[in-house]
Chain A
Amino acid sequence: MTAPLSLDAYRITEEPYYRPAGDEVAVFEAAWRERLPVMLKGPTGCGKTRFIEHMAWRLGVPLVTIACHEDMTASDLVGRYLIDETGTVWHDGPLTVAVRHGAICYLDEVVEARQDTTVVIHPLTDARRVLPIEKHNELVRAHADFQLVVSYNPGYQSAIKDLKESTKQRFCAIGFDYPAHEAEAAIVAEEAGVALDVASQLVAIAERSRNLGGQGLAEGASTRMLVHTGRLVAQGLPLAQAVDTAIVMPVTDEPDVRAALAAAVEACLP
C-alpha cells in the first residue's frame, strides 16, 4: 500500500471564472450534499468543464479529471501493479485516488470510453459507494468527499458511441447549452480580454454558425472558440482574420458550407 497521497495538487486554489446561466450551481450543490453522481450534458465548448472546476473550487474539494478515450482500460482508471527495484508495487489509478482520498472524479467525454470500461464505476454510483479492486484484492470504500461526475455530449451520439442504459440511469443530469447572447458576450469579453462590443459581434457570428448545426455543421462555434477568437483579436489580429482563423476554418472542411459561413460572418460585421 502506498502512503496516503496528498490531493493538494488537485485542489483548485483560484476561483475559475464561471458565469451561471441558470440554477445549475444550486442543483449541483444539492447533488453534492447527497454525493449523487452527476452527468453534465451539452455541446462541446459550452462550459461543462469550467463549471465543474468552479464547483470544486466553490466546495473546496479536490478535482481529479480523466479525459476518456477509446483505448482506456479499467486498469487505467483503477490502477495497476508496477515494478520498482524492490519488486512489484501497486499504483492507484486516478479513480481509486479520488475514491480513497475524497475528491470529485470527473470523467470528461465519458462516451469515448468503451462500454466495458465504464462499468467499473457502477458500484460507486449506487448505495454501496465502493470500488472493488480485483487485482489488488481490495474493496475500497469511498471517502466521504468522493463524488463522481461525468460529461457527455449528446450531439456525438451514434449507434456505436452511446452510454449503456444501465450506466445512464445512475446519474442525475444537468443540461448545458450556449449562454444567452448578453451572457455569452460577457463571458467572451472577460475570458478573452476584449471589449464587450467585439465580444458581442463574436457571439452574433457564433449564433449564425449554430443556425447551421445539423445543416452542414455537426455543431456550431462553441463559446471556447469565441474565447480563442477573442484572444487573437486581443493579440492585435483584425477581427475578420481572427474569425476566419479560429472559427470558419476549424469548424468545417466542406467548401460550400465554409463559403456560406464566411458570407454570413461578413453579414455580422459592420
Chain B
Amino acid sequence: MMTSVARLDPPAAPDGGVVTRTERLFAGRGALGVAYREAAETVAKHGSEDDTEVWCASVSGLANANAGATALLAAWQLSREEIRALGPRRLARIIEAAGAVCRRAGATAAAQLLKQAPLARRSLRSGDSTVTWADIVADLAREMPTAIIPLLAETGRVLSRTDLDGFRHWVESGRRACERDTGSQVAFFSLEDPAAVRLLARSGRSQPFDRLERRLSPYAAALYGRPAALRGIEPDPEAIVPPRPNIAGGLMRLPLRFAGADEIQDRTYHAAVAHMGAHLAFSRSRFEVGKLRPLQIALVNLAEDHRVETLASRALPGLANLWRSFHTIGADTPTTTDNLLARIARALADPAFEDDDWAVAKARALLAERSDRLEDPQISREFGSLLGNDFGQRRLQFNWKTYAVEPLYRDDGLGLWEFPEDVAPPETIEMFSDVARPEECSDAPERDDGRVDQDLEPARVRAATREDGLPVARYPEFDHRTGDLRQEWTSVRDMPVPSASPARLHALAATHASVHQKLVSQIRSARIGRSERLKRQPDGDVLDLEAAIDHTVKRRLGEIGDDRLFIRRNRQARDLATLVLLDVSESTRDRPPLSPASVLDMELAATTLLAGALDDLGDRIAIRSFASDGRNDVRMARLKEFDERLSDGPLGRLAGVRPGLSTRLGAAIRHATGEIAAERAYRRLITVVTDGEPSDVDVADPDYLALDARHAVRAARRAGIDIVCIALSNAHLDRAKQVFGAGHVFPVGRIDTLPTALSAIIFRLAAR
C-alpha cells in the first residue's frame, strides 16, 4: 500500500508546473483560495521546491477526487499545523491517502482522516507511522467504505490501546471477522462490538502473560505440588485501577501485562504465581464478610497475605527474598490509607523496614502476639477488625474502588471471601458487585496468538446433526497477512456418500492391469519399516559371533560350516499407512489439454490403482474426498476406511463421487492429519491428489489458502506424518510446490506415468 513518492512527481506540463496549476485551481475562490495560499506558503517555507511540488500534486489530486471544501480546508489546516512534525512529503502522502478514502468512502470520511491525523501522529509518536496509519485506513476504505467514519471517530481510543502493528493487525482482524456485513463492520470499527475491544487489547505487542504462561504453570506445580490453572485477565478499558491478579474458584487469573517496565515482568509474574499458590495451599477456608467494612476487609487481606507468605517461606526461603524485593514504598510517603496499607505490608514483610507511624508499629505487634498461631487463618481476621477500628479513629479516607493492593504482585484478595447474598452491608454488596466475576472462568482468553501446537489440536465434536452431513470438527486457519492462527475458523462436515456401480472402475483397473502389476511389485520391494537386525547373513557390517563360533565348532568336528557369518541391519517389513485425500472440487470436472479424461476421472483411476496395489499387499489405506463451500462448510466424505478391503463397497463409493464446489485444502489436510495420526504404523503418508490451486468462495486473496495449506502441511510433517501431492494438472504446479514443497509434488500427466510418480514417492519414503 506504500505509494512511491516518485509517482506523485508532476509531469512536465505545457502550461507551467504543478504548483502554478494548483494555484490556478483555487484562485478566485474566495476564502478557499486564501486558505490555500496560506498553507502553500507554509509548506514552501519548510521544504525544497520539489517537496512543494509533491505537496501541490497531492492537493490537486484531492481536489480531483471531488473532496469538497471541508476536506480541502482540513488538508490545508493539517499542513499548516503539522508541517514541523510531518514535513511536506509525509503530508502529501497523508493527503493522497485522504484522496483514496474520498473516492471510496466520500468526502466526509476524507475530511475526518485529515482532521484525525494530528491525533494519530501524537498517539503513534512518529511521522512515518502516521503515514502508514493513513494508508491502512485508505486500504480499508476500498473494501469497507462504511466502516471508515466510525473507525476514524474512535481514532483516539483505538490508538491509545495499541501500536501501529497492533492497529494493522486489528484492522485486518476486523476485515476478516465482518466480511461483507456492513452492520457488523460498523459495530466492530466503532468499538461497539466487545470482541473488537478485546481483539484490540490483544493486538499490540505480544503480552508477557502469553510468553510466560507455559513456564508459570509448572512453576506453581513445582512449588506447591498442585497443578495451577492460569488465565489471563482481559484488559478492561473502563477500569479505574490497573488490574491485579486474583483467585477465582481455584484459578489464578493474571493481567496480560503488569504495569511497569519489561524487565520486571518475569519476576512479577513469578512472585504473583508464588503468592497465589501460597493462598491456595494455606488459605483453606474463606472468610465470612459479616459486618466488616471495606477497610477492614483490606486489612484482613493484608494480614492473610503476610500469613500465607510466611508459611510458604518456611519451606521456600527464596520466595521471601523475591516478595520482599517488591516492597519499595518509603516511610516518608504521605499518610493516606493506601500508602499506610502498603507501608504496613512492607513492615510485615521486611523486619528491617523502619516506620514511625503507630499503625505500623501496632500491626507488627498484633501479628507478633499471634506468631505461634500462624497456621490459623482466624488471626488475619482478628488483625483486620482490631486494626480497622484504630484506622477508623484516624478518620482516614478509604475508597475501595480506587484501591489497588500493593505491592504489584499481590492478588486483590476477594477470592478469600464468602460474600453472602442477603446479610452483607450495602457497601460490601456494592463493592462486590463492582468486582463481580464468574467463579469459574469458562471463557478462556481468546487465543489469537498463532500457537503452532494448536494447529493439530483436534477437532471438537459438535453435537448438532444436519441432514446434509454431520459437522465433525472445527479447525484453525492460518492468516499469512497477520501471522495469526484463527481459532476454530473452519468447520468440517462428514458427508454421506452416494454409491454408484463400480463397473466403471473395474473396467478401468482392467485396462491398466500392467500399471497395477508394476505398482504391486514396486511397493512390495519398498523398504518402509522399522530397521531390524538380521543375523546369519552372507554379508553385513558386523561379524555374527555366534555364527562364527558355530562355524568353527563344525569345522573342528570335520563338518562343513555355514558361512553366513554376518549381522546386517535392515529395513524389513513395510509398515505403512496411507490416507489418500481426493480433491473433488468443481475444477476437477475440467479436462487437461490433450487429455481424454477429466481430472476427476484421472484422480479416480490413480486412486483405484494405488489402493488396489496396496490392498493386494495387505497395506492399510483409507480414502477421503473433500470440497468446500466457504469456511463453515468443508465437506469430507469417507470413501474407504483403513480396515476395509477394496471391495465393491468402497469402489462403489469412489465411483459415486461427483465434482463440485471449491478447494479449502488446509482444513482438509488438518482433518486428514488428525485421522492418520491415530494409525499405528511406522510410516504414515497422506497423499493429496489434486489439480492444483486451493480456492474458496469466501476468499479473494489467492495466497491466503495456499499459505494456510502450507501451514497445515508443515504441522503434519512436524507430527511425523509424510505428506505428498500427486498433481494431475500442470497448470497449477507452482502453487502445489508452494504448498507441499518442490520435492514433494509429483506431477502425473497421464495414468501410465503414475508408477513413475509413485516410485518417486516410495523412494522418498524409503530414503529417510
Q: C-beta contact mask, B243-273 vs A, less than 8 Å → 1, else 0? A: 0000000000000000000000000001000
Bound CA–CA A239/B225 (angstroms): 23
Q: Is the CB of B318 within 8 A of A267?
A: yes
Query: Chain B interface mostly helix, strand, loop or mixed?
Result: helix
Q: Give the distance to chain A from B629, nearest Cβ to Cβ, in Å.
A: 41
Identify which of A23-31, A95-103, A125-133, A207-215 touches chain B: A207-215
Given contacts A81-B553, A208-B222, A267-B316, contact A260 B215 (CB under 8 A): yes
Question: Which of chain B's residues have a CB closer than 8 A to the CB of A212?
Answer: 218, 221-222
Q: Which of these, A211, A269, A270, contacts B225 with CB under 8 Å? A: A211
Q: Is the CB of A269 within 8 A of B318?
A: yes
Q: Is the CB of A257 within 8 A of B215?
A: yes
Bound CA–CA A208/B221 (angstroms): 8
Which residues of A, 194-221, contact B by the 8 Å Cβ criterion?
204, 207-209, 211-212, 215-216
Bound CA–CA A75/B546 (angstroms): 9
Bound CA–CA A269/B319 (angstroms): 9
Instruction: Kindly report which residue of chain B lies nearest to residue A210, judged by CB atoms.
Output: B225
Q: Is the CB of B215 within 8 A of A268?
A: no
Instruction: Kindly report which residue of chain A lies nearest to residue B315, judged by CB atoms.
Output: A204
Q: C-beta contact mask, B388-432 vs A, less than 8 Å → 1, else 0? A: 000000000000000000000000000000000000000000000
Instruction: Kindly report which residue of chain B lies nearest to residue A270, judged by CB atoms.
Output: B317
Q: Is the CB of A256 within 8 A of B214?
A: yes
Which residues of A, 112-163, contact B by the 8 Å Cβ criterion?
none
Is B610 among interface residues, defined by CB-CB distance under 8 A? no
How many B residues are at the interface, by size bracket? 20 to 34
Bound CA–CA A207/B219 (angstroms): 13
Is A259 among interface residues, defined by CB-CB distance under 8 A? yes
Is A15 among interface residues, defined by CB-CB distance under 8 A? no
Q: Which of these, B223, B317, B533, B556, contacts A269 with CB under 8 Å? A: B317
Which residues of A, 81-108, contact B by the 8 Å Cβ criterion?
81-83, 87-88
Bound CA–CA A224/B552 (angstroms): 46
Q: C-beta contact mask, A233-270 vs B, less than 8 Å → 1, else 0? A: 00000000000000000000000110111011011111
Which residues of B, 437-461, contact A by the 8 Å Cβ criterion?
none
Given contacts A204-B315, A264-B223, contact A270 B321 (CB under 8 A): yes
Q: C-beta contact mask, B234-249 vs A, less than 8 Å → 1, else 0? A: 0000000000000000
Q: Give the distance to chain A from B486, nearest Cβ to Cβ, in Å.
A: 25
Bound CA–CA A57/B537 (angstroms): 46
Q: Give the distance to chain B from A133, nearest Cβ to Cβ, in Å.
A: 14
Question: Which of chain B's residues have a CB closer than 8 A to the CB of A257?
Answer: 215, 218
Question: Which of chain B's residues have a CB closer than 8 A to the CB of A268?
Answer: 315-318
Question: Which of chain A's residues have a CB closer than 8 A to the CB of B593?
Answer: none
Q: Is the CB of A215 within 8 A of B221?
A: yes
Instruction: Kindly report which residue of chain A lies nearest to residue B550, judged by CB atoms.
Output: A81
Is A80 among interface residues, defined by CB-CB distance under 8 A? yes
Q: Give the distance to chain A from B272, nearest Cβ to Cβ, in Å.
A: 12
Question: Which of chain B's residues have a CB closer than 8 A to the CB of A256?
Answer: 214-215, 218
Question: Which of chain A's residues have a CB closer than 8 A to the CB of B319?
Answer: 267
Bound CA–CA A266/B216 (angstroms): 14
Bound CA–CA A208/B315 (angstroms): 11
Question: Which of chain A's residues have a CB closer than 8 A to the CB of B322?
Answer: 266-267
Bound CA–CA A259/B219 (angstroms): 8
Is B224 among interface residues, defined by CB-CB distance under 8 A? yes
Q: Is the CB of B219 within 8 A of A264?
A: yes
Question: Which of chain B's residues have a CB closer than 8 A to the CB of A264?
Answer: 219, 222-223
Q: Give the distance to chain A from B351, nearest Cβ to Cβ, in Å.
A: 15
Bound CA–CA A268/B317 (angstroms): 6
Q: Which of these, B222, B225, B553, contacts A88 with CB under 8 Å? A: B553
Q: Is the CB of A208 within 8 A of B223?
A: yes
Instruction: Kindly report which residue of chain B lies nearest to residue A87, judged by CB atoms.
Output: B556
Is B331 among interface residues, defined by CB-CB distance under 8 A? no
Question: Which of chain A's residues have a CB closer than 8 A to the CB of B321?
Answer: 270
Is B549 among interface residues, defined by CB-CB distance under 8 A? yes
Is B636 among interface residues, defined by CB-CB distance under 8 A? no
Question: Which of chain B's residues have a CB closer than 8 A to the CB of A211?
Answer: 221-225
Given contacts A80-B549, A267-B274, contact A260 B316 (CB under 8 A): no
Question: Which of chain B's residues have a CB closer than 8 A to the CB of A266?
Answer: 318, 322
Most chain B CB within 10 A, of A207, A215, A256, A257, is at: A256
Q: Is the CB of B218 within 8 A of A82?
A: no
Question: Which of chain B's residues have a CB closer than 8 A to the CB of A209?
Answer: 222
Bound CA–CA A43/B227 (angstroms): 21
Question: Which of chain B's residues have a CB closer than 8 A to the CB of A269?
Answer: 317-318
Which residues of B, 693-737, contact A by the 8 Å Cβ criterion?
none
Question: Which of chain B's residues have a CB closer than 8 A to the CB of A215?
Answer: 218, 221, 227
Q: Is the CB of B222 within 8 A of A259?
A: no
Bound CA–CA A77/B35 (angstroms): 102
Question: Which of chain A's residues have a CB closer than 8 A to the CB of B550?
Answer: 81
Which residues of A, 6-58, contact B by the 8 Å Cβ criterion?
none
Bound CA–CA A208/B319 (angstroms): 13
Question: Which of chain B's residues have a CB closer than 8 A to the CB of A208?
Answer: 222-223
Bound CA–CA A34/B413 (angstroms): 62
Bound CA–CA A268/B223 (angstroms): 9
Which residues of B, 103-159, contact A by the 8 Å Cβ criterion?
none
Bound CA–CA A264/B556 (angstroms): 67
Most chain A CB within 10 A, of B214, B318, B552, B556, is at: B318
Question: Which of chain A's residues have a CB closer than 8 A to the CB of B217?
Answer: 260
Question: Which of chain A's residues have a CB closer than 8 A to the CB of B221?
Answer: 211-212, 215-216, 260
Q: Give the distance to chain B from A216, nearest Cβ to Cβ, in Å.
A: 5
Q: Which of these, B218, B270, B552, B556, contacts A261 with CB under 8 Å? A: B218
Question: Which of chain B's residues have a CB closer than 8 A to the CB of A259?
Answer: 215, 219
Q: Is the CB of B318 within 8 A of A81?
A: no
Given contacts A211-B221, A212-B222, A260-B215, contact A81 B549 (CB under 8 A): yes
Q: C-beta contact mask, B305-327 vs A, less than 8 Å → 1, else 0? A: 00000000001111101100000
Q: Is the CB of B549 within 8 A of A88?
A: yes
Question: Which of chain A's residues have a CB closer than 8 A to the CB of B270?
Answer: 263
Instruction: Kindly report which residue of chain B lies nearest to residue A258, judged by CB atoms.
Output: B215
Bound CA–CA A215/B225 (angstroms): 10
Question: Which of chain A's residues have a CB closer than 8 A to the CB of B218?
Answer: 212, 215-216, 256-257, 260-261
Q: Give the distance to chain B from A34, nearest Cβ to Cβ, in Å.
A: 37
Question: Which of chain A's residues have a CB closer than 8 A to the CB of B214?
Answer: 256
Q: Give the distance to chain B from A207, nearest Cβ to Cβ, in Å.
A: 8
Given contacts A211-B225, A212-B218, A260-B215, contact A82 B318 (CB under 8 A): no
Q: Give the distance to chain B from A247, nearest Cβ to Cβ, in Å.
A: 12
Bound CA–CA A208/B220 (angstroms): 10
Instruction: Kindly report which residue of chain A lies nearest to residue B213, judged by CB atoms.
Output: A256
Bound CA–CA A142/B173 (angstroms): 77
Q: Is the CB of A263 within 8 A of B215?
A: yes
**Known interface pairs A81-B549, A269-B318, A270-B317; 12 further A-B residue pairs with C-beta atoms within 8 A, sorted by A's residue number:** A83-B549, A83-B553, A215-B221, A216-B218, A259-B219, A260-B215, A264-B223, A266-B318, A266-B322, A268-B316, A268-B317, A268-B318
Q: What are 6 A-B pairs with beta-carbon distances under 8 A?
A: A71-B533, A75-B546, A211-B223, A212-B221, A264-B223, A268-B317
A-B pairs, 4 with minimum CB distance: A264-B222, A260-B218, A270-B317, A260-B219
Residues of B within 8 A of A (CB): 214-219, 221-225, 227, 270, 274, 315-319, 321-322, 533, 545-546, 549-550, 552-553, 556
